[in-house]
Amino acid sequence: MLRERPGHEAAALFVVDAETGLHPPSGLPAPPPGDDAALRQILRQGDYTDILIVADHAELARLDADADILPLARTMERTRNSVLQQRAQFRLWLARGRAPDEQFAAGHIRWSKMAAGLSGRLGDFTARYAGPASPRGHRIVVEDASGDLARGYRTPVGQELHPEIVIGNKAHTRTAMADLLRQYAASLRLG
């Protein structure tokens, strides 16, 4: 999942083991087990904004014992759920991140279930389910405050936004709509 995201090469991955503690994955340069000073030096070389820890009980206990090694970050989360729940948490974590040059608007999306389907509103924009696409898939459209398709909007780096998309799985409707709304709310109108 991580390698599918743009900018994944900037991520720092570490493995935690109940016996040996925190270390880089095999194949990468690593300090000898138990050398906390060398590990701390490796961790200080990075600039971290987010830390996600996904581990079982024994590994979390070991990490808690060595917590002073971890750098401080803006967002730090940890989970010890089932493997299926850990994957879902990781997927949500990745969806929340940004690649270089991406900008998303913050704010609360107001969701409603209309007779025709789901809709969401953020700022002056409304995304709504527009029915099945031909030959297959599901249409989502974004409208501006006038109720027309939101045409003529671009990201802050100049990429044109498209007010209509087609998704393959209807279960992904809310996620796709939220992504579109956040892109549009951070966009600029040109022309």
d(CA 1, CA 9): 13
What pLDDT does residue 162 have? 95
Of 159, 172, 190, 189, the closest CA to residue 127 belongs to 172
Give the DSSP letter string of 114-159. Answer: ETTEEEEEETTEEEEEEEE-SSSSEEEEEE-TTSSB--SEE-TTSP
Q: What is the largest CA-CA distance in the chain?
A: 63
| The two three-digit tokens of residue 27, written as one number | 């194949």
- Examine residue 135 and say whether the peptide bond preceding it is cis (omega within 30 degrees of 0): yes
Dig out the tokens for 150 from the structure. 């939101």
Kindly list the distances between the CA atom of residue 25 and the CA atoms of 17, 29, 62, 153, in Å, as whole numbers in the listed order. Answer: 11, 9, 17, 43
Query: Positive or negative, the Cα torsion across 100, 8, 34, 72?
Result: positive
- Quick one: pLDDT at residue 143? 96
Rounded-to-integer distance, Cα 12 and Cα 101, Å: 20
Provide the 3-class DSSP secondary structure of residue 75: strand
Per-10-residue mean pLDDT of the chain, 191 residues long, equals 72 80 74 80 78 78 81 68 73 63 69 83 93 94 95 88 94 90 87 63
Planar angle of CA 37, 43, 48, nearest 5 degrees: 155
- Per domain, the residue ranges of the chain are 2-96, 110-189
Strands 153-154 and 15-17: unpaired
pLDDT at 96: 60
What pLDDT is stored for residue 139 in this prediction?
96
